[in-house]
Chain A
Amino acid sequence: MDIAAVLNEKCIELNLKARNKEEAIRELTDLLSEQGLITDQEEFFTAVQEREKLFSTGIGMGIAIPHGKSPAVRQAAVAFGRSANGVDFNSMDDKPAHLIFLLAVPEDANDLHLQVLSTLSRLLMHKEVREALSKATSAAEVVAAFKTGAENE
């Protein structure tokens, strides 16, 4: 299970500048776009907003996982942003989100990539993984946090 297949270190921002939900999603979309993983930023952004409208992806515990499925996505990928001040995501526990994961899924997704995404989602439910992510000082450490979490399963 290669987390690096979907989590590119260049798509990790440990100090998000965003002050609200929309800015956070745009900031993370930019990261994915710079790596050529998204062909049409606006289309992808719309897909994410649509999903957000269904019910908020602020699942509490300081995490948010906005995601979108769109033909504008070239290959399944994740962008991770950490916000020191926290971003309001209409979370289920009414607390701001500090760890934000933007998941991008192509229309005809490769099963293997999707498996990795689902594993990533599962790992976020573990307290140790979230703590390691909060303390990470570099993008490499973020990826390592997931790898360790996956090994301990």
Chain B
Amino acid sequence: MFMGDTQEGGLLHKFISLFELPRDVILDLPKATLLGDVQMVVENHKGLLEYTPARLRIRTSQGEVCVVGAHLRIGSLFREELVVEGRIDSVQFNRRG
């Protein structure tokens, strides 16, 4: 499991670390949880950019997450949570800007 990285707000970062606050909520970061290569849960997403059985691009606050594989399907799709199922070959973060 990993969240999108942030360098901004050193003071904010220290504040979050000091009080052990959830970074994904405070900093609006996407949280992706990978289960082997068969399932991936993405929380705090901002919508779909592209969906085909071979590729899925998901918009996030920091850019996009690109999932490449085969027989990809969307297990469930809700406002801020997306479950990708199928054979996942690679996951790539593409930063905006």
> Is A bound to B?
no
Residues of A near any B CB (own CB < 8 A): none
